[in-house]
Amino acid sequence: MSLIETERLILRPMTEADGEAVFQWTGDPAVNRYMPYPVHKNVEETKDWLRSLQGKEEEFGFCQKETGQLIGAGSIKYREEFDAWEVGYNLRKDCWGKGYATEAARALLQWAYEHGARRFMARHATANVASGNVLKKCGYQFSHLGQYSRYDGSETFDATYYTMEME
């Protein structure tokens, strides 16, 4: 079980017991606007998702050190189709614009680097400028424009893709 500590956050595995806290963002249509997963309709749906994460060490919840509150989540996963590691993150709306996403993303990148990753990629809905700013602050460079769709195919987004190499 990996724990990652940053200046203001502790990144840790999530469990079913985190369902209520996680539903604060997985059930929020504003947070979900550009996410690939459909908005969660109830806490049980969120708990089902959390159960599916058990044993996946590349998935982390973001807890504020000061309060212990779970305020977001993210992952860093190897994507064979890109031959690179992809970072992703999601935060409660009341935590937007405070630097938490950048802090957490940098920590995820460092964790992956320490586990042997050297090639990274990321993408965001082009309309989600804030997410693009996070990636640029982490050192990503523009790669190309493209698209991605929600898992259920209900919506497709114009996307901006980035890459980064670490030696």
In the chain, where the domains are located: 4-165
Percent of the chain with pLDDT over 70: 99
What does the pLDDT look like over 18-35, one tens digit per residue? 999 999 999 999 999 999
Residue 1 has pLDDT above 90, yes or no: no
Chain mean pLDDT for the chain: 96
109 neighbors 138 (Cβ within 8 angstroms):
yes
Q: Which residues lie below 8 Å from residue 32, measured CB to CB, with a gap of 6+?
A: 25, 26, 38, 39
pLDDT on residue 57: 85
The pLDDT assigned to 23 comes to: 97
Return the CATH number of the domain spanning residue range 4-165. 3.40.630.30
Quote the pTM value.
0.94
Angle 19-26/43-52 helices, nearest 10 degrees? 110
- 3-class SS of residue 16: helix
Q: What is the mean pLDDT of residues 140-153?
A: 96
Q: What is the pLDDT of residues 63-118, one digit of tens each?
A: 999 999 999 999 999 999 999 999 999 999 999 999 999 999 999 999 999 999 99
- Per-residue HEC secondary structure of 54-85 comes to CCCCCEEEEEECCCCCEEEEEEEEEECCCCEE
pLDDT score at 56: 85
